[in-house]
Amino acid sequence: MATPAASIQTKIKSESAENFIKGLWRENPVFVALLGMCPVLAVTNSAINALAIGAASTFVMVLSSTIVSLAQKLIPKQVRIASYILIIATFVTVTEYVLQALSYEVHKALGAFIALIVVNCMILGRAEAFASRNNLRQSVMDAFGMGVGFTIACLSLGTVREILGNGTLFGFQVFGPEFEPWIVMILPPGAFFVLGMWLLLFNWVKHRKEAAE
Partner 1 sequence: MTTASSMSIFLNAALINNFVLAMFLGICPFLGVSAKLDTALRMGGAVSFVMLVSSICAYGINKALIIIGAPYLQLIAYIVVIASSVQLVEMIIKKFSPALFRALGIFLPLITTNCAILGVALFQTAKQYDFVQSLSYAAGAGVGFTIALVLMAGMRERLELSSVSSVVQGAAVTLILAGILSMAFMGFAGMAS
Q: Using the rule CB under 8 A, is 196 a contact of partner 1?
A: yes
**Burial class for 33, CB neighbours closer than 10 Å (0-12, 13-18, 19+):** middle
Q: Give the residue, chosen from 97, 102, 104, 173, that forms a contact with partner 1 under the rule CB under 8 A.
A: 97
Q: Using the rule CB under 8 A, is 76 a contact of partner 1?
A: no
List Cα–Cα distances, 198 to 54, 77, 195, in angstroms. Answer: 18, 38, 5
Q: Give the residue, chosen from 93, 136, 155, 169, that forms a contact with partner 1 under the rule CB under 8 A.
A: 93
Q: Are 29 and 122 in contact (CB under 8 A)?
A: yes
Residue 178 neighbours by CB under 8 Å, 6+ apart: none
Q: Are 65 and 140 in contact (CB under 8 A)?
A: yes
Q: Give the residue, chosen from 42, 48, 71, 75, that forms a contact with partner 1 under the rule CB under 8 A.
A: 42
Q: Give the residue, chosen from 86, 98, 102, 129, that forms a contact with partner 1 under the rule CB under 8 A.
A: 86
Instruction: For 88-118, give the DSSP string.
Output: HHHHHHHHHHHHHHH-HHHHHHHGGGTGGGG
Q: What residues between 140 and 179 interact with partner 1 by CB under 8 A?
A: none
Looking at the Cβ atoms of 170 and 204, the one nearer to partner 1 is 204
CA dihedral 28, 31, 32, 36 (to 10 degrees): 80
Q: Are 53 and 115 in contact (CB under 8 A)?
A: no
Number of residues that bind partner 1 (CB under 8 A): 41
Q: Segment contacting partner 1 (CB under 8 A): 13-21, 63-71, 131-139, 190-198?
A: 190-198
Q: Segment contacting partner 1 (CB under 8 A): 92-100, 102-110, 137-145, 161-169?
A: 92-100
Say which DSSP state 35 is in.
-
Looking at the Cβ atoms of 75 and 85, the one nearer to partner 1 is 85
List residues near partner 1 by CB under 8 A.
34-35, 37-39, 41-42, 81-82, 85-86, 89-90, 92-93, 96-97, 112, 115-116, 118-121, 124, 184, 187-193, 195-197, 199-200, 203-204, 207
